[in-house]
Chains A and B, each alone.
Chain A
């Protein structure tokens, strides 16, 4: 052996370009179905109209979120939290049952990469053509193809950025501004930012996002167990692998070592090495291997959805399915069901009227005509419905408590109105100091629209 030699190794590696091969099959079709569903929803939703306005509009300027018939105000932020909790639990549930199906089929990173890959294939050709093109020295032909690809990518990215902003600012007027390019500074920023993010992530970063940036990829393993569906290579059946020509003598496994499963992988891994954290569960390798198995006249499923336990204990598909109703899945489902139920009932019971009562800062209580004691409040009345309403103000909880002057107030649609309210009691009512009272609002045209807030009435010494 030679004498010990020193060698320098690098701790940071340049990205190696991955050229995923196109593959047709059941899972590829499923992924394209998700691409269509998610993108139709994303690009079309902002154009829907409701009640003479955009059906889905998150108006940050006026801090009102319009979701079809529902108008949410900053006070309704809890629903956003609930929505996020529900989404998270859906993700946990799906992951516990079927691994990274979200990553492989519905995640925006996957979906946009799929679209961008499609454009790349249309312009630069198949995998082998793309590899060849990248190895060519610079030429006009190469420059033309690359420019066309980036132009197409940027067009999709800009349209995506535009649509994204259309969720926050009315998309129809935004469309008008496109023609004259008269966006406001924030609209410019977000259109370009979101377009840049789409272009960068789906065009350049791709698997790097899944491998190094995605937080979900970091903790999804905690949802996995031995019964979670994963994409597996049946090494007992496949090994020892050998090229097709040598496969005749019967001492070899099903795998013909064609490496197609590696070529189609968008993260560039070899599934035959076992489950790896880079695997996003896109099932492209299943499609690839099944194609090969069909061609070589072997049974499908050398690479398939299975579970760790199923591989060890040779479970049948029925037994795998039966194990999906295990405790972990039941708990996830129960918690999810509870939160969904709570959210729906809270939304159903939610009243489009809110009231804040603020006691006047400057005065405790004052004496007015006939020795009556008066307290002043400022009502913040928030009519969160899209109709104007006239509300009747009433107060209770103390003898002789009454509203001085007008006890009705008109609040326009989705308006917040400050209203000074004077309440009076006769001399001698209540006790010195603070008395608990309540102030309520009732819509004149709809008595079910009613809110009540507690307050205090101060009787001075």
Chain B
């Protein structure tokens, strides 16, 4: 507050608040009794207000506990303003802050769930993957932090890899997946149009690339393209099976990160591609990433094979009875 206004306004608002509260108290006190003019010797049971010469208001008093409730609200207001921030820039005796409350809740959550994550962190990733509870936690983490790019079914999108197949750009071992989540990845394919040649050569290479996975292609163009593929071998390898150290994809399967049409492949060769998987180490912490990595690994592997049969995740979707 003081960053934007000068100190006068703090005092102005605090004074206004306090005067308002005190004013309420004075009003309440002054109105709890009224002086009336005794007009004759009889009992006075009116408030003394007279309108239109003879119309008087009967005094049917409010219960006294009601008045005390009003006084209690005044005491409460003053006590609150003394203990908590509310009077200008006065911080309050208890020093309460909304950010402090957030930190407290965070610490409480860490204290509650920390031991659980710590338990999993000590376990091997494959063992964690076989744990049904860890699987459920992993799924929730995935839906919160990963589903935006990889989809809630983890099957990816254009430019974002499918995590449920066995094809991996940087390797599919559980430790590698953990590494990927912790520190992120950058996949870079440079523009290769000039290196390959002109438009005609690029199209030929595209057809050759399609032929590698036995996809629909033009055989003549593909033969011509094979000669020009040399420029690609540095990364994708002579056998075109890719290089996981570089994140260069395997071109001999039918899995495409950006699409498998001739047009898309030509675009990839001409313009190159850059992909970024952000690092989550600082954001999620190693303990959560440990559970998350185990979950992602379990999407394309059967964790039951590595763990005791009793640890099979309970209640899998039933595929029978068709």
A residues with a Cβ closer than 8 A to B are 1-2, 4-15, 208, 211-212, 360-363, 366-367, 369, 374, 376, 378, 390, 405-410, 412, 418-420, 422, 444
Contacts and interface: CB of A to CB of B under 8 A. Distances in A.
B63 A212 contact: yes
Contact of A406 (B36, B152, B318): B318
B151 A1 contact: no
B152 A7 contact: no
B322 A408 contact: yes
Interface in B238-272: 254, 259
B62 A11 contact: yes
B319 A15 contact: no
B38 A407 contact: no
B32 A12 contact: yes
B280 to A, nearest CB: 17
B61 A10 contact: yes
Given A7-B44, A212-B63, A376 B35 contact: no
B119 interface: no
Interface string B130-164: 00000000000001000111111101111010000
Contacts of B158: 366
Contacts of A1: 40-41
Contacts, number: 116
A378 B152 contact: yes
7 contacts: A4-B37, A7-B36, A9-B44, A13-B61, A208-B65, A409-B318, A444-B321
Contact of A2 (B41, B63, B156): B41
A378 to B, nearest CB: 5
Nearest to A364: B157
A12 B148 CA distance: 64
A62 B33 CA distance: 53
B1 interface: no
Interface in B15-51: 31-41, 44, 47-48
Residue from B36, B38, B39, B151 with most neighbouring chain A CB atoms (10 Å): B151
A11 B320 contact: no
Nearest to A374: B155
B283 interface: no
A7 B35 contact: yes
B315 to A, nearest CB: 6
Given A12-B32, A419-B317, 4 more contacts: A12-B61, A208-B63, A212-B66, A362-B157
Contact of A14 (B48, B64, B254): B64
A15 B321 contact: no
Q: Closest 7 CB pairs between A and B? A: A420-B153, A13-B61, A406-B319, A5-B38, A12-B67, A363-B157, A12-B64
Contact of B321 (A5, A211, A361, A390): A390
B59 interface: yes
A376 B152 contact: yes
Nearest to A368: B155
Given A360-B153, A408-B321, A6 B35 contact: yes
Chain B interface residue count: which class?
35 or more
A407 B318 CA distance: 8
Given A2-B41, A9-B33, A208-B65, A362 B151 contact: yes
A14 B62 CA distance: 9
Contacts of B66: 12, 212
Contact of A367 (B151, B259, B321): B259
A298 B106 CA distance: 78
Contacts of B160: 362
Contacts of A2: 41
A133 to B, nearest CB: 23
A1 B38 CA distance: 11
Most buried by B among A8, A10, A407, A444: A10
A410 B61 contact: no
Contacts of B31: 11
B38 A376 contact: no
Contact of A376 (B44, B59, B151, B259): B151
A410 B40 contact: no
Nearest to A358: B152
Contacts of B44: 7, 9
Nearest to B40: A1
A418 to B, nearest CB: 8
A15 B64 CA distance: 7
Contacts of B156: 366
Interface in B279-319: 315, 317-319
A15 B63 contact: yes
B157 to A, nearest CB: 4
Nearest to B264: A367
Contacts of A405: 319
A11 B61 contact: yes
B318 A410 contact: yes
A15 B34 CA distance: 19
A408 B157 contact: no
A362 B61 CA distance: 66
Contact of B63 (A8, A13, A362, A369): A13
A313 B156 CA distance: 84
Contacts of A407: 322
Contacts of A378: 152
A9 B44 CA distance: 8
A146 to B, nearest CB: 20
A11 B34 contact: yes
Contact of B38 (A6, A409, A410, A444): A6
Contacts of A7: 35-38, 44
A422 B155 contact: yes
A4 B151 contact: no
Contacts of B157: 362-363, 366
A406 B150 CA distance: 20
A360 B320 CA distance: 26
Nearest to B143: A418
B152 A410 contact: no
A376 B152 CA distance: 8
Nearest to A366: B157
Contact of A361 (B32, B36, B64, B148): B148
A360 B317 contact: no
A407 to B, nearest CB: 7
A388 to B, nearest CB: 9
Contact of B150 (A4, A212, A362, A418): A362
Contacts of B254: 369
A376 to B, nearest CB: 5
User: Which of B37, B47, B63 is most buried by chain A, counting CB atoms within 10 A of its CB?
Assistant: B63
Residue among A11, A15, A405, A406 facing the most chain B CB atoms (10 A cut-off): A11
B47 A9 contact: yes
A8 B33 contact: yes
